Amino acid sequence: QHPIIAKKEVTQYILKRFGIHMNKKLGQNFLIDEEIITGIVEAAEITSDDVVLEIGPGIGTLTQGLLETGAQVYAVEIDKNLLPVLEHTLEGYENLQIINADILKTDIKELIGNRPFKVVANLPYYITTPIIMALLEEALPITKLVTMVQKEVAQRMAAAPGNKIYGALSVAVQYYSRPEIAFTVPPNSFMPPPEVDSAVIVCDIYNDKPVKPIDDKIFFQVVKAAFGQRRKTLTNSLGLLGLPKEEVRELLAQAQIDAKRRGETLSLQEFKILADILAQKNE
Ligand code: SAM
């Protein structure tokens, strides 16, 4: 009985009726393509048993697709101007809770409790990486993270070692999850159209991480140093760890990693080996 929101005319009508001017600073590009909504819900494999956290429901376009599955949805929207809109467009859905807050300042544990949940979002592009990193690092019981991001960001998240775009974000995402790009989305699926292509990326969060460093802080320090000066060989870039060159050479020799290699060629396992040697030294 709810009309579908993911249409150009419906979105235009809602915006006009509520006098909403889209806020570019908040990354407001609303989906107007029904097929994309279906694609996201399917990629996330949402069923009525799921608990879903949606970041940035906007006027409720994707939220509606999620709610129609019968899943329990928590939707966190920063823009209070959109609250009356959401109350109208999603009126009558009993499986919804709307929270007016900044996702980066929301206590998700307190909101959802200890139940496993999925994150599904068409993310605001100005804070994609901070949001994804915060969700991954908080050790929340997330099973799947399905997000619409800039295509280039999705490619970086999924990049393999040796690829030019493989970097600290790739390592971090792949440390916690198995990322896979589900499909790409052109600018005209949004209103207003963003200046970049987009992609939906599915990150299946590991229950049991394939790489388990002794100390994950040291692991990420090594990653940060290795990518801190991308053009440099590991002998030079790992100097950022505060070790004298001689010790860096020794560390690489002990790890059996060629000192002339660059950070962007190291696998997660190789980062772990380096981090574990350092961790053992500190003991
Ligand atoms: N889900 C809607 C859709 O797909 O059409 C809107 C997506 S729009 C790309 C991003 C949404 O995130 C906007 O509604 C924006 O107001 C909201 N947003 C931006 N920053 C936020 C933050 N820090 N916390 C929560 N929501 C935020």
- How high is the pLDDT of residue 1? 67
Token pair 């994150």 in the structure block, residue: 119
The CB density around residue 195, as the number of other CB atoms within 10 Å, is 9
To test the pocket of ligand 1, the residue of 21, 30, 106, 149 to mutate (highest count of ligand atoms within 8 Å of its CB) is: 30
- How high is the pLDDT of residue 197? 98
- Residues sharing a CB contact under 8 Å with residue 38, sequence separation 6 or more, in sequence order: 65
- How high is the pLDDT of residue 283? 78
Nearest atom of ligand 1 to the alpha carbon of 106? 24
Centroid of ligand 1 to alpha carbon of 128 (angstroms): 11
Q: Could you report the average pLDDT of every consecutive run of 10 residues in the chain (283 residues)?
A: 91 97 96 98 98 98 98 98 97 97 98 97 97 95 98 98 95 98 98 97 97 97 91 90 93 96 96 97 83
Residue 118 CA: distances (Å) to CA of 42, 51, 123: 13, 6, 14
What pTM does this model have?
Answer: 0.96
Centroid of ligand 1 to alpha carbon of 1 (angstroms): 25
Residue nearest to atom 22 of ligand 1 (CA): 102
Residue 268 CA: distances (Å) to CA of 111, 193, 223, 228: 33, 36, 9, 16
